Amino acid sequence: MLLEFALIILVSLLFYYLFIQIKMPGLLGLVTTGLIIGPSFLDWVSDPVLALLKEFKTVALIVILIRAGLGINRATLNTIGGPAIRLSCIPGIIEGSVILLLSHFLLHLTWIEGGMLGFIVAAVSPAVVVPSMLELKDAGWGKHKEVPTLVLAGASVDDVFAITIFGVFVGLATGESLNVTHVLVSVPLGIFVGAAIGAGIGFGLVWFFKRYHIRDTKKVIIFTMIAVLFYEFTEVDAVKNLIPIAGLLGIMAIGFIILEKYDTLAHRLAAKFGKVWVLAEILLFVYIGTQVDLNQISVEVLGIGLLILFLGLLARSVGVWLSLLKSHLNRKEKLFCIIAYWPKATVQAAIGAVPLSLFYDGKMTSMTEVTGQTILAIAVLSIIVTAPLGAIGIQWSGPKLLSKP
């Protein structure tokens, strides 16, 4: 297993630099590596290594969100607050609703099945968006109006709405009753609770690090492990069924508090986490590539699926534009935000197969196997189309549409 793991890392680095040489985002080289060694082509990854990559993927996502939190101060938050809240829900809800309608009329799915598909596809990918925004921030693009920070803050909460609404449709499909009040209250409450717990952890870490002087490397380990425990707590089924806590937002809140209360340490930790991200990025995007199975996409689904994705992205773009109407951004900056909200990968890889799995488990008898395979195929197609489209779009449009101070 160790030999297989080492070979994956070396091949990934090779593809990463090959893509950099042809002026393409390096993360696409990593996804391509996963695609080649995954079930789509060679199918070389053993189950133990795949399970290990899955766990490391979570840690990698946590690391990039910690980096994001360590770069957001109070002044920035005051600047982006209102637009970020609107970006966190309006685009995803509009896109999910449009895909629901399209899948009902074009694929003849039931309203409930269309809702599951719509809100699987509607979730933006923080794995693609956040590191791309951090690169632009580090380079100074959009600094004056904090455009990259606005996008990454909205993207970190977008998934909460999409996954929660997806869960509602899954509940309806498996025979559960719909409690509208619970849904309307639990989502904003979950966002508040996630941010509050994260802030509390941040204050605790500031107190601990000021009281006990230990090496920054050990502080990084402590910070990461506590963030992992917090994230895993938010993923427990009993907790998710009660309140869908915004774990990703909470992790960013930890970094925010450390920057506010102990800024010298925050800058040192940010530098350390930047080094950790070198390996974490490889593991995250290679795993995403291994979750893409091109064999799931039939010719019959391909054409309609592409049409649904195109119209869904168009609806999402309208949602982003509406979210930014009262912001201080100009037209170019709004166009950049639209492009930055295209990528999908993380959530689609995680829950795209859930409806099909529930069918096999006998929990969704009203759905056919073909429908479950269709939902999975379009989820896979959304990754293949939007992850490279969004990554290339962000890399190309950032320097052209954003300004430097």
300 confidence band (pLDDT: 50, 70, 90): confident
CA 56 to CA 11: how far, in whole Å? 18
Count Cα neighbours of 297 within 13 Å in the Cβ-side half-sphere. Answer: 18
303 confidence band (pLDDT: 50, 70, 90): very high
Residue 405, pLDDT > 80, answer no
What value does the mean pLDDT take over residues 288-307? 89
CA 69 to CA 51: how far, in whole Å? 28
pTM above 0.75, yes or no: yes
**pLDDT tens across 128-169, in order?**
999 999 999 999 999 889 999 999 889 888 988 898 899 889
Structural domains of the chain, ranges and CATH numbers in brackets: 1-401 (1.20.1530.20)
**pLDDT tens across 372-391, in order?**
999 999 999 999 999 999 99
**pLDDT tens across 253-267, in order?**
999 999 999 999 999
What value does the mean pLDDT take over residues 108-112? 93
Contact call for residues 87 and 341 (beta carbons, < 8 A): yes
Q: Is 368 left (phi over 0), alpha (psi -120 to 50) or beta?
A: beta
Residue 110, pLDDT > 80, answer yes
366 confidence band (pLDDT: 50, 70, 90): confident
Q: Find the radius of gyration of the CA atoms of the chain.
A: 20
pLDDT at 178: 67
Burial of 230-263, coded b for 16+ CB within 10 Å and e otherwise, reads bbeebeeeebbeebbbbbbbbbbbbbbbbbbbbe
User: Is 226 buried (19+), middle (13-18) or exposed (0-12) by CB count in 10 A?
Assistant: middle
Helix or strand (DSSP H, E) at 387: helix 369-401
pLDDT at 131: 93
Interhelix angle 26-37/2-21, rounded to 10 degrees, is 140
What value does the mean pLDDT take over residues 170-177? 79
Contact call for residues 65 and 85 (beta carbons, < 8 A): no
**pLDDT tens across 321-350, in order?**
999 998 999 999 999 999 999 999 988 988
What value does the mean pLDDT take over residues 187-195? 90
Residue 34, pLDDT > 90, answer yes
